[in-house]
Copies of this chain bind each other. A is one copy, B any other.
């Protein structure tokens, strides 16, 4: 693809020779002739002058490129689009593998692809152009929309409703039983049957090994456009809003609500029955234990205002100094007291 073409498709301003052809996207370090690179994180700006790429996507006012540039207000977004334009979509076998098990009552849309050893139970519906990789298990009466990509070893349990354009990475589980037990007087626990609904709205992505639990009553819901990384736990009855980002190994306990555009960084968690307002940001490894108002940025265990948390961390590091100051004051005060006795 020529740079002129690419600039037009990406909505970038081209600075250089539009007839240059690029065939691949690569990092600044790795790129060579024929490669398109990008600079989206200023941390790597020092690498820009050394790149051997034929062209680089950069911010509007970025200096220092030794090659043609595609300039835009949103270089990371343009890079995302460029990867899609330059990477051939992987070939997907069409049709239903003769090695798959598809219950006769299942309804399959046009051009559905179903791989070997997939198991599709009774009463399911799978929308047009959806790709089901090998070894996916789809439980009774589950529904999946159009243009989804369900990777290998995913479990979609009974009755789960999945929207369109949803991507689920390998071995994720949607609709497993919530962790619901009522303690008997003798200390043993009675299982509460988890028979509620799970709804995954359109344009959601769920990472490898993540688990979205089913509740006893009501529903667990993941809102449109939300992206979930690997090894994330979403417990029963949680409601996650739209365009939320959950990084790897996040855990959300039962019945908690995340409003739209919440971001939870890696290994953070939220306890049960709390409410995270719209646009809340939770720092890595933090633990939310109570309601958080809209747009708040919190961190710590338990999580509080991130600025106060940073100050607390800094002062904790200086506790030895504070301790010495107090000891010195004590000595000076004692000296004064003894002089005045």
Contacts and interface: CB of A to CB of B under 8 A. Distances in A.
A304 B318 CA distance: 12
Q: Interface size for chain A: under 10, 10 to 19, 20 to 34, or 35 or more residues?
A: 35 or more
Contacts of A119: 115-117, 134-135, 152
Interface in A144-185: 151-153, 155, 157-158, 167, 169-171, 173, 176-177, 179-185
Contacts of A308: 317
Interface of A: 25-27, 29-30, 40-41, 43, 74, 76-77, 79-81, 83-84, 87, 90-91, 97, 99, 101, 115-117, 119, 133-135, 137, 139-140, 151-153, 155, 157-158, 167, 169-171, 173, 176-177, 179-185, 187-193, 195, 203, 205, 207-209, 211, 213, 216-218, 225, 227, 229-231, 233, 235, 243, 245, 247-249, 251, 253, 260-261, 266-267, 269, 271, 273, 284-285, 287, 289, 301-302, 304, 308, 311-313, 315-317, 319-320, 322-323, 325-326, 329-330, 332-333, 336-337, 339-340
Nearest to A272: B266
A211 B211 contact: no
Contact of A333 (B271, B311, B329): B329
Given A137-B134, A316-B312, A190 B269 contact: no
B182 A177 contact: no
A279 B43 CA distance: 25
A194 to B, nearest CB: 8
A9 to B, nearest CB: 14
A196 to B, nearest CB: 9
A266 B271 contact: yes
B251 A249 contact: yes
A315 B151 CA distance: 49
B182 A211 contact: no
Contacts of A208: 155, 173, 176, 211, 213
Given A119-B115, A233-B231, A155 B155 contact: no
A248 B182 CA distance: 17
Contacts of A43: 273
A151 B158 contact: no
Contacts of A195: 83, 87
Contact of A253 (B248, B260, B320): B248
Contacts of A135: 117, 119, 135, 137, 153
A46 to B, nearest CB: 13
Given A176-B207, A209-B211, A269 B267 contact: yes
Contacts of A117: 101, 117, 119, 135
A216 B77 CA distance: 13
Nearest to A309: B317
A283 B176 CA distance: 25
Given A26-B217, A209-B231, A176 B181 contact: no
B182 A79 contact: yes
